Amino acid sequence: MKRYRYGEPIDPIHEKSKVPHNSTREILGSVRNKQVNFGMVDLGILKYHVKRNREKYANIKGLENLCITQSLYVVFNGFSLRDEFNKYLRLYGQKLYSIYSKKYL
């Protein structure tokens, strides 16, 4: 996507080998219409579009084995929302620990 950075190994590919797009929909449309061989999109966003437009994107398949790790940041406009979010993260972590400790420990 235009002005987006994916990191290694995508960014070093020469610009002549890339086709810039403004949105995920544009990328999916180009793949669907065979204007490009493949596109780089977030797996969650791909699934979102395919789920809502099954017929339109029926022939588009995601390569789930290729994983590029990107850091995501959660930002808040206030301390109370941040504190609430942290509370749920702790509860989620405790739940996971409980499940896995029973299974493996």
What tens digit of pLDDT does each residue of 64-73 get? 787 777 777 8
Question: How much is the pLDDT for 63?
Answer: 82
Looking from the CA of 100 toward its CB, the CA atoms found within 13 Å total 6
Please indicate, yes or no, whether residues 46 and 77 belong to a single structural domain of this protein: no
The domain containing residue 80 runs over which residues? 73-105
Tokens representing residue 37 in the block: 């061989």
Please indicate, yes or no, whether residues 52 and 94 belong to a single structural domain of this protein: no
Question: How much is the pLDDT for 5?
Answer: 78
User: How many angstroms separate the CA atoms of 60 and 97, rounded?
Assistant: 37
The pLDDT tens digits for 16-69 are 888 999 999 999 999 999 999 999 888 889 989 999 999 999 889 888 787 777
Please indicate, yes or no, whether residues 60 and 77 belong to a single structural domain of this protein: no
Question: How much is the pLDDT for 82?
Answer: 92
ω into 12 cis (within 30 of 0): no
Please indicate, yes or no, whether residues 5 and 23 belong to a single structural domain of this protein: yes
Instruction: Provide the number of structural domains found in the chain.
Output: 2
Please indicate, yes or no, whether residues 13 and 50 belong to a single structural domain of this protein: yes
- Is the full-model pTM beyond 0.75? no
Please indicate, yes or no, whether residues 39 and 78 belong to a single structural domain of this protein: no
